[in-house]
Amino acid sequence: MSAPELRLRRQRPVRIAGASWLLRPRAAAVTLAGLAALLLLMGLNVRLGDIPLTLADVARTVLGGGDAGDRLVVMELRLPRALTGALVGAALAISGAVTQAIARNPLAGPDILGVTSGASVAVVALTVLTGTAHGGAGGTLAAIGIPLAAVAGGLAGAALVYGLAWRKGMDGYRLILVGVGVVAVFTNVKYWLLTAGDVNDAARAMVWISGSLNGRGFEHVVPVAAALAVLVPATLLGSRTLGALRLGDDTARGLGVRIDRGRGALLLAAVLLASVATAAAGPITFVALASPQIALRLAGVAQPPVVVSAVTGAVLVAAADLAARTLTPVELPVGIVTAVLGAPYLVFLLIRTRRVKGGT
């Protein structure tokens, strides 16, 4: 029996409400190992702080034990930060997996679609225009305004990129080229706003656009969890369309897939996930780019798997947050750690893509 036949025999079909997937043992094992690593990293993150705890203290408190002090520290102050990081990582990774599958390009992601840069411009504009020089906005308005601005900016940025890239259909490479140009414009607008605004407002905006999990509470956990609860099943239901798009538009049409409608719906889900995640923690770069490619290699499949990518993204953000809190004397925003680690990976990806295209 050949190797492909043997791999096919090891896969088991799973059918739910008319939809079906192949259960791959290797992908399932990677998912379980990733979840175990995620729980360990979250436990290590929760135990860190001015009042140090052991992993046993953290586990006992999460399971309902511990004294009042431990419950306050764990459940109110530290667990929301760890949960926000894990959920944001999962949302960004799924967004990246869908975008890369649609564009058929490992360099694609919500960053290229203009989501994070659009959100950054919107938040910086809101911070500067309602800041110290204009009377200031605080309290509930400031708390609600920034997440709403981030979501609106992300959606507007993605709509602009998609609209400019549309030419009686969507081409993956044209989408990326247009995205790179729009992101460059957004980046310059963002820095112009920072230089034109009050220095205190610019400092506050810089903290947000660095991508930070500091001070995150359950008000940040709930929106990301709700978005994942709605959009992950929708994305899994669209996995047949993703698989067909990998074969090319003509082949997908031949298989009976309505590619424009399916691609638009999947891209909308990816944009919404990235927008909500960015609103919760700021732009955490490279997670959406790297997680699907890491998951693809770990699972040994042909295109980024949604569930394994989500677990990989959650692990990456949890690990980056732990590194940001322990590797330097001063705690860093988690977005800086992912940017430092992601830049060499992006260079590697560019070189590898060029070699593949050159056939070397």
Long-range contacts of 163-169 (CB under 8 A, 24+ apart): 169/249, 169/260
All domains of the chain, ordered by start, with CATH?
32-350 (1.10.3470.10)
| Measured distance CA(304)–CA(311) in Å, rounded | 12
> Is residue 58 over pLDDT 80?
yes
| Model pLDDT for residues 147-179, shown as the tens digit of each residue | 788 888 888 998 898 888 887 776 767 877 888
> Is residue 202 over pLDDT 60?
yes
| Measured distance CA(214)–CA(10) in Å, rounded | 44
**What mean pLDDT is predicted for residues 331-349?**
81
Instruction: Look at residue 286 in the predicted model and tell me its pLDDT.
Output: 86
> Is residue 2 over pLDDT 60?
no
User: What are phi and psi for residue 21, nearest 5 degrees?
Assistant: -135, 160
Instruction: Look at residue 282 in the predicted model and tell me its pLDDT.
Output: 86
Predicted structure pTM score:
0.85
Check the CA dihedral 105-281-34-325 and report its sign.
Answer: positive
Give residue 132's pLDDT band: very low, low, confident or very high (50, 70, 90): low
354's enclosing H/E stretch is helix 334-358
Amino acid at 318: A
| Measured distance CA(137)–CA(134) in Å, rounded | 9
User: What are phi and psi for residue 14, nearest 5 degrees?
Assistant: -120, 125
Nearest alpha carbon to residue 83 among 207, 210, 213: 213
Report whether 224 contacts 88 (CB < 8 A). Answer: yes
Check the CA dihedral 16-21-24-27 and report its sign.
Answer: negative
- Other beta carbons less than 10 A from residue 169's beta carbon: 11
> Is residue 141 over pLDDT 60?
no
Give residue 48's pLDDT band: very low, low, confident or very high (50, 70, 90): confident
Per-residue tokens: 106:
């490992």
Give the chain's mean pLDDT.
82
